[in-house]
Amino acid sequence: MKKVLITGIDSFTGTHLSKHLKNSRYDVYGTSLFKKSDKIYICDVTNKQDVQSVLKKIQPDFIIHLSGISFAAHGNNEDFYKVNTIGTINILDTLVELNINPSKIILASSATIYGNQDLEVLDESLCPMPANHYGASKYSMECMAKNYFNRLSLVITRPFNYTGINQAENFLIPKIVKHFKENKREIELGNLDVSREFNDIKYVCEIYKKLLESDISSETINICSSRGIKLLDIIDMMNEIAGYKIEVKINPAFVRKDEIKTLTGSPKKLFKLIGNIKPQEFKQTLLEMFKS
């Protein structure tokens, strides 16, 4: 069994991905800031000694680096760069210093690096223009990581929005679903005219597995489906699932001045490299979250 190290294994993505890989007969290890258990090690990626200790113990065949701050409204801007940028470089530096060369290292960046491009579909050829510190920290990580392309087998992924059971309620889709589960009569939201990809976490996990098993290296790849969904359409789906119509109110505090209006990606490069994967209907994802 090949050993896979997932940093941030107790995150939303990490918990789903670890199960997915275990079901595919991988020997899964992980890091967490707080929870230590069998095959899960306490590790702060901003602390290089922590990183060295974990990598020496595990000697992984594969690494999927998910650890980072992913909530764009996180209060401390410095944290984005300490964790998302410096934390990633600590891992890459340590691998080189210890002469540990996994078969594949996947680094999770973000589609927010594109910023506002005034295009409906975004592909990897575009020049990034991040509009917030989260996106900027991920883009700086990408720039630094590319310096290791000639020394490590790296793939940088740019996931577009995805969701599923057990995602934190400070994210948009879980917030909406929670309101309906609690039978609330109204909900406060921000910009309603935004269009986003909202893929299912299972779709994302399968893509990570296929990338892991591929011979792809030194590439930057969107994780997307090109399926844009408007916020109001999601409300309509939930009205039907829950059997009642919720009242939507605009809260100016939730309207971001740097809001990206349309964020859907081109999966052309992704599907060319790993084959076509059909995403689950989004209404089914909402139904699963509603019933969980």
Annotated catalytic residue, options 134, 139, 148, 203: 134
Residue written as token pair 């410096």: 86
CB 231 within 8 Å of CB 192: yes
Contact, 274 vs 215, CB < 8 A?
no
Long-range contacts of 113-119 (CB under 8 A, 24+ apart): 113/138, 113/139, 113/142, 113/158, 114/158, 114/260, 114/263, 115/260, 116/258, 116/260, 116/261, 119/262
Residue type, 89: I
Amino acid at 147: N
What's the number of CA atoms in the CB half-sphere (13 Å) around residue 237? 19
CA atoms within 13 A on the CB side of 286: 24
244 is catalytic: no
CB-facing half-sphere around the CA of 240: CA atoms within 13 A: 9
Alpha helices, DSSP H only, in the chain? 12-23, 48-58, 77-79, 87-97, 133-145, 172-181, 201-213, 231-242, 268-274, 282-291
Residue 72 has what DSSP assignment?
T
How far is the CA of 33 from the CAs of 9, 67, 151, 189, 245, in angstroms? Answer: 10, 9, 28, 31, 41
Cα separation, 244 vs 202, in Å, equals 28
Residues marked as catalytic: 134
